[in-house]
Amino acid sequence: MWRLKSKDLTYTPSGCAISGILNTKGQRFSGDMVVKSIATMRFRSNGLGGGFAGYGIYPDNADQYALHVMYQTDEAKQSTSKLIQSLFHIWREEPIPTVHVKEIENRPILWRYFVTARAETRDRFYDMTEDDIVIKIVFDINRDVEGAFVVSSGKNMGIFKGVGYPEDIAKFYKIEQYDGYLWTSHGRFPTNTPGWWGGAHPFGLLDWSIVHNGEVSSYGINMRYLASFGYDCTLQTDTEVIAYLFDLMVRKHGLPLDVACKVVAPPLWTQIDRMEPEEQEFYKAIRSVYAPALLNGPFSIVLGHRNGMIGLGDRVKLRPMIAASKGDMVYMSSEESAILAVCDSPEEVWGAEAGQPIVASLDGAAVAANAK
């Protein structure tokens, strides 16, 4: 559903583009900045998908979950609205504002709801947190309602994506009219998955969002591991497992973010064998306990969350990741040119090392982290 016609699949694919921009003091800025950054890397995209995640964009509804939903039919919308209303109080609902862009075709119905769980819902699911209840309805909709797909479900954030070049998707959603303290973006080259509206990046769950350059060849193992904890992978893409893994490890299991990064991109066993005994014990433990959560394949990702962003590449650096900083601003991208397009004189520029996360947080600087 919501796919390009076969005649449109004649683009020459060349790669993926990712970009993220954070103000570490939480000051909001226009989404137009990240649009300029990602547009610089048009040659890395191919028109089969583009998207944006913005944080801090809904200050008037900051305490409510913002559900962005795509619908293929009015019937799907009616069924989903009834399901949401049965569990949540809907404070506000409306179409997601868009404008006509001739390059954007076959658009779905786009709707957003600002919700909180009803008191009776919390009593009914007394052993679940409100976050868990939100995840439940996301998976219920994606799995059970034909023609409906939840794009994002976090508080004070939203994901806007579709089939097209990212700069055209930005025009379509009027991204320049939103202000946020963190923006991530993606120009998509599908690897093992079709080009469709729901399959474009970013992928989100609660306030986690992922933009990804590369391929997750361990998708099958990761998917089965997540299923054992109640996470349903139904989105026809390898990237969805990354967002779910971070939610499981950090929110559910309580791992620090930097340690979760070491789970998905740990050192090779030959590297562990050369470490000091204490380090060996740590890495052997996480590789044993979380073996099915390891991500294989070439990748670089930018992980967005309510408190900042993380850039991470695979263990042998098969995909690029560049970072820069200036004042309170931190930038991460596939190419330095995308950073220079919005920051003409960065104070510091550096490349991500293999398997080493670059951590940028609110009220903090950007650092290359060696998690332990």
State the chain's mean pLDDT as an integer: 91
Residues 54-72: what's their mean pLDDT?
Answer: 97
In a domain, residue 195? The reply is yes
- Residues of 171-187 as b/e, b for ≥16 C-beta within 10 angstroms? bbbebeebbbbbbbbbb
Q: Residue 237: which pLDDT band, with cuts at 50, 70 and 90?
A: confident
In a domain, 140, yes or no: no
For residue 349, is it within any domain? yes
In a 13 Å sphere around the CA of 100, the CA atoms on its Cβ side amount to 1
CB 153, CB 65: distance < 8 Å: yes
Query: Please, which pLDDT band fits residue 193 given cuts at 50, 70 and 90?
Result: low
Q: For residue 28, tell me if it sits in a domain.
A: yes
Instruction: Tell me if 76 is assigned to some domain.
Output: no
69 close to 150: Cβ distance less than 8 angstroms: yes
- Give the domain extent around 214: 13-57+156-364
Is residue 343 part of the annotated active site? The answer reads: no
Q: Given the structure tokens 């946020």, which residue do they identify?
A: 180
CA 104 to chain centre: 22
Q: How many structural domains are present in the chain?
A: 1
How many DSSP H helices and E strands does the chain contain? 11, 19
Q: What is the pLDDT of residues 147-171, one digit of tens each?
A: 999 999 999 999 999 999 999 999 9
Kindly tell me if the per-residue pLDDT of 253 is higher than 90.
yes
Can you tell me which residue has the tokens 């939103």? 178
Which CATH number does the domain housing residue 271 bear?
3.60.20.10
Mean pLDDT over residues 271-278, rounded?
A: 94
CA distance 22 to 201: 18
Annotated catalytic residue within 16, 233, 261, 343? 16
**What's the predicted TM-score (pTM) here?**
0.93
Q: Which residue has the higher pLDDT, 4 or 331?
A: 331
256's CB contacts (< 8 A; 6+ apart) are 250, 371
pLDDT digits (tens, 9 = 90+) for 105-150: 999 999 999 999 999 999 999 999 999 999 999 999 999 999 999 9
